[in-house]
Amino acid sequence: MTNILVTGGAGYIGSHACKALAAAGYTPVTYDNLVTGWQDAVKFGPFERGDLLDRDRLDEVFAKHQPAAVMHFAALSQVGEAMSQPGRYWANNVTGSLNLIEAATAAGCLNFVFSSTCATYGDHDNVVLDENTPQHPLNAYGASKRAIEDILRDFEAAHGLKHVIFRYFNVAGADPEGEVGEFHRPETHLVPLMLDAIDGKRDALTVFGTDYDTPDGTCIRDYVHVCDLVDAHVLGLKWLEHDKGSRVFNLGTGSGFSVMEVIERSKSVTNREVPYNIGPRRAGDCTKLVSGSTRAEAELGWKPGRSTLQTMISDAWRWHQNGHYDR
Which residues sit at the interface with ligand UDP, rule CB under 6 A?
79, 170, 188-190, 193, 205-208, 219, 221, 259, 282, 285
Q: How far apart are CA 305 and CA 236, in angstroms?
A: 17
Closest separation in Å from C-beta 171 to ligand UDP: 8
Closest to ligand UDP by CB, 149 vs 285, is 285
Helical ranges in 68-189 per DSSP H: 79-84, 86-89, 96-106, 140-159
Closest separation in Å from C-beta 146 to ligand UDP: 15
Closest to ligand UDP by CB, 6 vs 312, is 312
Closest separation in Å from C-beta 103 to ligand UDP: 28
Would you say 312 and 223 are in contact if contact means Cβ atoms under 8 Å apart?
A: yes
Amino acid at 126: N
Closest separation in Å from C-beta 174 to ligand UDP: 14
Strand partners, 112: 70, 163
Residue closest to ligand UDP (Cβ): 219
Cα angle 181, 176, 308; round to 5 = 95
Helical ranges in the chain per DSSP H: 12-23, 55-65, 79-84, 86-89, 96-106, 140-159, 190-198, 226-241, 259-270, 295, 309-322
Cα angle 148, 26, 251; round to 5 = 45
Within 8 A by CB and 6+ apart from 33, the residues are 49, 50, 51, 52, 74
Closest to ligand UDP by CB, 177 vs 213, is 213
212 in catalytic set: no
- Catalytic residue, from 141, 212, 223, 276: name it: 141
Closest to ligand UDP by CB, 190 vs 237, is 190
Closest separation in Å from C-beta 252 to ligand UDP: 12
Closest to ligand UDP by CB, 178 vs 280, is 280
Report which of 68, 66, 72 is spatially closest to residue 113, judged by C-alpha positions.
72
Classify residue 145 as exposed, middle or buried by CB count within 10 Å of its CB (0-12, 13-18, 19+): buried
Residues tagged active-site: 141
